[in-house]
Amino acid sequence: MDRYTPRFYIAAATDNMSLQKARSFEDSLADKLLAVEEDSLRFTQIYRSREVGQSYVTSVWTTIVAIVHALWLMIRIRPQVAGALPSGYLLDLVQVFQILCNGPGTCIPLCVIAFLFKVLGIRWSSIFYVESVARVKKLSLSGLLLYNLRMADQFFVQWPQLQKNYPRAHYVGCLM
């Protein structure tokens, strides 16, 4: 875990359980994190771009809201990666950001902003997307977007059927 520090957890605003679990996990770690300037951001909630069952029409507006919120969060969170980077990067000149995400509907705004920042040269980041375990034969809409638009650097699926249909994905087995 010390390769990936500091760690920020972002969960959907309507999700009450995940941040609790993230906090318990972090508390259980033996080494405490290096102090971060904005400690209140370590466990944050973000507006979800689309709730389960929400109509796609109203989702346009809620997605825009979520993207603006994601932009705000991305600007406020400015971590530096501790530990070794691949050769070619100078540690003190570059701020690198790794995003590991799962939540369909929740992570898309963050990934869009991160990808935009990368394309515009504002900040480099890597996006790793793990498709939900509930997706056996078809990808979620978030998964489809990230896969087809090639926004994720590494794409993970948990069932072999998906890997057959989406060959650029890594099949990592059922993670549950």
Task: Note whether 118 and 125 are within 8 A (CB).
Answer: yes
The Cα 130–Cα 51 span in angstroms is: 19
Q: Which of residues 80-99 bind another protein (CB under 8 A)?
A: 83-87, 98
Which pairs from 72-79 meet CB under 8 Å and 24+ separation?
73/10, 73/41, 73/44, 73/46, 73/110, 74/110, 74/113, 74/114, 74/117, 74/123, 76/38, 76/41, 77/8, 77/38, 77/41, 78/37, 79/6, 79/8, 79/36
List binders of another protein among 12-71 (CB under 8 A).
Answer: 53
Nearer to another protein, 26 or 71 (CB): 26
Q: Toward another protein, which CB reaches closer, 80 or 132? A: 132
Footprint on residues 133-162 left by another protein (CB under 8 A):
133-138, 153-154, 156, 159
CB of 83 to another protein, least distance (A): 8
How many amino acids of this chain bind another protein (CB under 8 A)?
A: 29
Which ranges of 3-159 does DSSP label H, i.e. alpha helix?
A: 18-28, 56-76, 108-119, 141-148
Smaller CB separation from another protein, 66 or 162: 162
By CB under 8 A, tell whether 165 contacts another protein.
Answer: no
> Counting contacts by CB under 8 A, is residue 101 touching another protein?
no
Summarize as ranges the residues that interact with another protein (CB under 8 A).
3, 53, 83-87, 98, 100, 126, 128, 130, 132-138, 153-154, 156, 159, 170, 172-176
